[in-house]
Amino acid sequence: MNTDTWKWFFFDDLFFIKGSKTTPKLSLEEYGRGVYPYVTTQAVNNGIEDYYDFYTENGNVFTVDSAVAGFCAYQEKNFSASDHVEILVPLFDCNKYIALFLTTLINKEQYRYNYGRKCNQRNLKNSKLKLPVTSLGKIDWQWIEDYIKYSIIPKLPPKANSVWNNAYDRLPFFEKKKSLQSKKWKRFLIKDFFDVTRGKRIVRNIDYFTDKNDEFCYSVITASVKNNSVDGFYHSYNCPENSIVCGGEASGSFSTYQADKCWVMDRARIFTPKANIIINKFIALFLCVIFDKNQYRYSYGRSANPDNIQNTAILLPVNHNDYPDWQFMEDYIKSLPYANEI
């Protein structure tokens, strides 16, 4: 995608930026479970921790974590929020397709924020987004909407000369998408298929470096949710190739697939397939989602240590022998749009 002709726009010109009303979780529990999301600063599950029968904010807005990382999510429904959740109210006609495009761009800007420069309202107002424009220099909202529509929907483009002149090549991936509901699922313990071990700490800028300056070096994997958790490079490794790494001491958050040997830090966990288990990148990506869906099982009172992880039960699709259907997992990921780019 050529973005040379795109233009920069201030957030302040695109959104009305405001804070959300902080709602303690204990207060929400008095209302009971319901259909309205409770949005927090977590960078997974669209920022949603749970659902209650209460809301304070109107939907069709963007929420941004102002605690640290600046994770942005689109909230289509009315919702309530924890502290440090900022709201971007669109000053344009917004729908879910435009929202998906914008959240992707906004999240690409997370590197600008840290504990010393938080993603607060002041910094948001001074931030910019680069967007496609029409011949008149106006934001091309229709192009943005069409881009997302023809990326995720099994539908041919309206015009043969549109940007989607290769839609026919992608159509088979839409047509053959598999259904998760077509399979029987069964619970298994993680230790049935993986040995889970703890990484080992090394010191940034002393033991390892941030740029790849040697062909004989290995990625350093941390608990970060960015850049596939890669934070630099090291001359040795403690994690074999074709492994899954899960970051987070307390939460067990954000699983990644590591195709190559790497060095895993102490706050991350290494999932090494047992000798009789053969996985590939497609199966690993399927499992990463499953592992991430089980994050709620861990907290500071029950940390994501190797013993707790190994004894966690997860649901997996099974074959006629009630054994994990690894082939289905692989085929499911391959059937998704743009799977040929993995």
Q: Which amino acid is at 134?
A: T
If we measure between CA atoms, which residue out of 298, 293, 288, 290 comes closest to residue 252?
A: 298
Residues of the chain with CATH 3.90.220.20: 7-139, 184-341
Beta-carbon neighbour count of residue 86 at 10 Å?
23
User: 203 is written with which tokens?
Assistant: 């010191």
The domain made up of 184-341 is a member of CATH 3.90.220.20: yes
**Exposure of 334 by Cβ count < 10 A (0-12 exposed, 13-18 middle, 19+ buried)?**
middle
Cβ neighbours of residue 143 closer than 8 Å, sequence gap 6 or more? 132, 163
The CATH number assigned to the domain with range 7-139 reads 3.90.220.20
Say what the pLDDT of residue 149 is: 83
Q: What is the pLDDT along the chain (342 residues), one digit of tens a residue?
A: 678 899 999 999 999 999 999 999 999 999 999 999 999 998 888 999 999 999 999 999 999 998 877 899 999 999 999 999 999 999 999 999 999 999 999 998 887 777 677 888 888 988 999 999 998 999 999 999 988 887 765 444 444 434 444 443 443 343 455 778 888 999 999 999 999 999 999 888 778 776 776 666 899 998 877 888 888 889 889 999 999 998 766 555 678 999 999 999 988 899 999 988 999 999 999 999 998 888 777 766 677 778 888 888 999 999 999 999 999 999 999 888 777 777
